[in-house]
Amino acid sequence: MGIEEKLPSGVLLTTVEGVAGYMRKASFWPATFGLACCAIEMMTSGGPKYDLARFGMEVFRASPRQADLMIVAGRVSQKMAPVLRQIYDQMPEPKWVLAMGVCASSGGMFNNYAIVQGVDHVVPVDMYLPGCPPRPEMLIDAILKLHDQVQQTKLGPNRAREVEERENAALRALPTSEMRGLLR
Amino acid sequence: MTTDHDIYASSTETTEGRVFTVSGQDWDQIAEGLAEDDSERVVVNMGPQHPSTHGVLRLILELEGETVTEARCGIGYLHTGIEKNMEFRSWVQGVTFCTRMDYLSPFFNEATYCLGIERLLDIEDQVPEKANVMRVLLMELNRISSHLVAIATGGMEIGALTVMTIGFRERELVLDLFELITGLRMNHAFIRPGGVAQDLPPGALDEIRAFIALMRKRLPEYEALCNANPIFKARLVDVGHLDLEGCVALGLTGPVLRSTGYPWDLRKTQPYCGYETYDFDVQTWDTADSYGRFRIRLAEMWESLKIVEQAAERLAGLEGAPVMVADKKIAWPSQLAIGSDGMGNSLDHIRHIMGESMEALIHHFKLVTEGFRVPAGQAYVPVEGPRGELGAHVVSDGGTRPYRVHFRDPSFTNLQATSVMSEGGMVADVIVAIASIDPVMGGVDR
Amino acid sequence: MTEDKSPDQRALEESPENAPASLDPEVRAVGVRRGMFGTRGTGDTSGYGGLVQPVVYPGLARRPLEGWHEEVAAALDAALATAGAPDAVEGVVVHRGELTFHVRRDGLPAVARALRDDPSLRFELLSGVSGVHHPDDAGRELHVVHHLLSMTWNRRVRLEVAVPDADPHLPSVVATYPTADWHERETYDMFGVVFDGHPSLTRILMPDDWPGHPQRKDYPLGGIPVEYKGGSVPPPDQRRSYS
Ligand code: SF4
């Protein structure tokens, strides 16, 4: 007994965007991109205790060609960066990237010659997840937030308008270096 | 060239032969392409992003049909420059960095680094007993969790997904203990030069005892599932063979060395942290193959449980004993407790330094910002990690920061055996051989 | 003592056993430390900006050493004399119970072979090779350290070879210890030390086309300043710090 029982004459009206978003978020397959410590926590989230399968996400795809989401779990070294970009390019559109852990998000504590200071230098990131390592619950939370984002994604001209609005907002935004905060 | 039209995965320049870039398209194309060629020789590049290579390991395999004629490893895809970073932090802060090297055995990294510093400081005998017992307890729990992951990922790579799920299920139990004792699931930075960061929290011993009882029930499940499992044995027995001479020449230690029947375990031969006072056996096997290494890991978890039990017993008698050296020039100025804001704090200490003693304030400030000085010299105190001899070569120039720290990581050394273990065998066995070495790329590349 | 203490006692040179022991034989400074903070110029607010301290490592030990250290040293001397490289070892340091042989670079293969093969030495396992860079130790800037383990005798020794930065060559020990393969490649990658006779000395951790050798002291940490709201924090190697 589900929603269909309550529908008048079995008809439900919605938008194409809504249906597409729902479909996309409900079968969201991550690519395995385990790099370092965070990868272990990523595997744990797929394990029995945290059970990512509850959200239809347990199929970690080995091949980027079958994946929608790249979870960059760990520190990206200068040597790994080209590989990462190639794997991202091989994923079919639409695709999303989740930077898991501070290393992938910003380089974290490894501010040095070897590590790319944030994977957003290499691929566009949709969701940043702080923590070192983030707990599996946090990863699941980040994924659910991303599900939300995916559900809300607009299509066609709406999408173009949204992109333009965001672009303009970003151009108008105050650069971090000029913001006032605790340090000034 | 079958895949040149793929703009994202096109071939790179090569000087000989034909290049196929396989990235998930139709295998028929490759088969056709190969059929045109009469040679059976193929060079396959596996990784660095491959689900079965145990992390970001790149394998370059030269195949003659199904047989591997040459296997080479490409590493460095996780090089993090941790050793260099440590040179710019104080001795204590270094712990935070080295714990992230081999992320499956954080306590061993911390322990070998701290033991090296303690030797240079010449305070090896002054480390309080409780700190040593807690180190042993944590290291042995860590050995269990590390071996569980080794078995779990090894199982996953040969397709035994149940082994993986139960491995991670049990590992959670250990991580819960870690979280209770250190506050973190991974990357603890809990073992510090001179002792450990904190005392045991109340109730920890009961949890540990419950864990031991539970593990006694759960470990037999692995034995029942795997030990005599015909598929498991078919994949593992006689695969990845390496005898004693090969191990010693290539510097292999840990379960790989012990699978040749040689009982070399630093906990017995060169004890540290008081291991000589615990009752446990060194596990060996005599087949020198992947199956033997699997059985050794399984048996070592039992031994570790024994040590954990003894350590818990001792801790029960050490309630309230110090966990840091008495020397206030080295020990952290106060014992912090978690305040209502979730941060570590100590109201007594704050009243003391802010209200009563200017000298205490200065001392606190100097110790926390500047740190202590370590006499010039070098030390190397290895410990028996889950993968073998793990040692930190600690060099001090007499300053407040490490002059150079180099980690001799067992994964790095053991991985050199890939060629010897897999050449002449089948492609599928390469995965098994590597899984039996159990390299952790964080430790290999550091 | 049978000699009478007559005033015409022989000169000190003729009876060196009467000379007082020098307390620290052959101590060499490998660098200096200035001030209290890692900065130069006015950044040092500690008031000790002008302080100059030499950096001195533990000095050479005098033979005979104590316990098994002497056994190893004597056996090594004997083995090296047979091998025709009697002066391969420059000196011995014993510090905190750890035995270090300073080895001349030409003598390294002979020392390694003697340590591995001599029945009274039997250092079968090479634990690792690593480098240490002392930019101020003129003529001996790059130190390469080998850690050896004898499973037969349950002993450890360390070999230290110093080579000048201008000519960073030393013989490889891969022929004796195959495990040195990757360790030497790593040391080459990180410090630019060239191991002559290594089967394929290429970079191992850094990308093949990487410029420089990152763990040398003259190679910057390479961090970037981190911006926060209202401020920016320089990378650790450019901050004021204590050294
Ligand atoms: S964020 Fe922390 S846990 Fe994650 S990869 Fe980096 S160091 Fe490891």
pLDDT of residue C27: 61
Q: How far apart are the C-alpha atoms of B208 and B214, rounded to whole Å? A: 10
Q: Does pLDDT of C20 surpass 60? A: no
Residue B393 main-chain phi, psi, to 5 deg: -90, 105
How does residue B446 score in pLDDT terms, banded at 50, 70 and 90?
A: confident
Q: Which residues of A contribute to the annotated binding site for [4Fe-4S] cluster? A: 37-38, 103, 132
**Residue of chain A minimizing CA distance to B47:** A83
Question: What string of H, E and C letters represents the secondary structure of chain B?
Answer: CCCCCCCCCCCCCCCCCCCCCCCCCCHHHHHHHHHHCCCCEEEEEECCCCCCCCCCCEEEEEEECCEEEEEEEECCCCCCCHHHHHCCCCHHHHHHHHCCCCCCCHHHHHHHHHHHHHHHHCCHHHCCHHHHHHHHHHHHHHHHHHHHHHHHHHHHHCCCHHHHHHHHHHHHHHHHHHHHHHCCCCCCCCEECCEECCCCCCCHHHHHHHHHHHHHHHHHHHHHHHHCCHHHHHHHCCCCCCCHHHHHHHCCCCHHHHCCCCCCCHHHHCCCCCHHHCCCCCCCCCCCCHHHHHHHHHHHHHHHHHHHHHHHHHHHCCCCCCCECCCCCCCCCCCCEECCCCCEECHHHHHHHHHHCHHHHHHHHHHHHHCCCCCCEEEECCEEECCEEEEEEEEECCCCCCCEEEEECHHHHHHHHHHHHHCCCEHHHHHHHHHHHCCCHHHHHC
Which residues does ligand 1 sit against, CB inside 6 Å? Answer: A 36-38, 74-75, 101-103, 108, 132-133; B 100, 187
| The pLDDT of residue B302 | 92
Atom 8 of ligand 1: nearest residue by CA position: A37
The predicted pLDDT at position A182 comes to: 66
* Subunit contact A113:C221, Cβ cutoff 8 A: yes
A53-57, B144-148, C83-87, range with the lowest pLDDT: A53-57
For B374-419, the pLDDT digits (tens) are 888 899 999 999 999 999 999 998 888 899 999 999 999 999 988 8
All partners of chain C with 3 or more CB pairs under 8 angstroms = A, B
User: How much is the average pLDDT of C90-101?
Assistant: 88
Residue C111 pLDDT exceeds 70: yes
Share of chain B above pLDDT 70, in %: 89
d(CA A149, CA A143): 10
Give the mean model confidence (pLDDT) for residues B155-176. 86
Interface test with A, best of C228, C232, C238, C239 (most A CBs within 10 A): C228
pLDDT tens-digit map of B182-208: 888 888 888 999 888 888 888 889 999
Residue A176 has pLDDT above 90, yes or no: no
Q: Answer yes or no: is pLDDT of C187 > 70.
A: yes
CA of A84 to the centre of ligand 1 (A): 17
pLDDT at residue C209 tops 60: yes
C112-117 average pLDDT score: 90
Hey, which residues does C52 pair with through a beta bridge? C34
| Residue position matching structure tokens 């011995």 | C92
8 Å CB contact of C98 and B378:
yes
Check: complex ipTM more than 0.95: no
Examine the pLDDT at C23 and tell me if it is beyond 50: no
Pocket residue to mutate for ligand 1, from A132, A135, A138, most atoms within 8 A of Cβ:
A132
Question: pLDDT tens, B334-355?
Answer: 777 766 666 677 778 888 888 8
What atom of ligand 1 comes closest to residue A133's alpha carbon?
A: 3
Residues 56-95 of B with CB under 8 A from C: 75-76, 79, 81, 83-85, 88-90
Report the separation in Å between the CA atom of A99 and the middle of ligand 1, taken as the mean of its atom positions: 11
pLDDT higher than 50, residue B10: no
Average pLDDT of chain B is: 85
pLDDT reported for residue B210: 92
- Partners of A107 on chain C (C-beta within 8 Å) are 224
Element (H, E) at A69: strand A69-73
SS3 of residue A129 by DSSP: strand
Crossing angle (nearest 10°) for helices A136-152 and A16-26:
160
pLDDT band at B107 (very low <50, low <70, confident <90, very high): very high
* Alpha carbon of A101 to ligand 1 centroid (Å): 6
pLDDT at B36: 65
pLDDT of B349 reads 81
Q: Between the CA of residue A142 and those of A126, A131, B318, C194, what are the distances in Å?
A: 10, 12, 43, 48
**Mean pLDDT over each residue of chain C, to the nearest integer:** 82
Question: Which is nearest to B125 in space by CA: B194, B197, B189?
Answer: B194
Is B76 in contact with C206 (Cβ distance < 8 A)? Answer: yes
Calculate what percentage of chain B has a pLDDT beyond 90. Answer: 23
Q: Do A78 and C207 touch (CB under 8 A)?
A: yes
pTM for the model stands at 0.88
Instruction: Output the pLDDT for position B108.
Output: 93
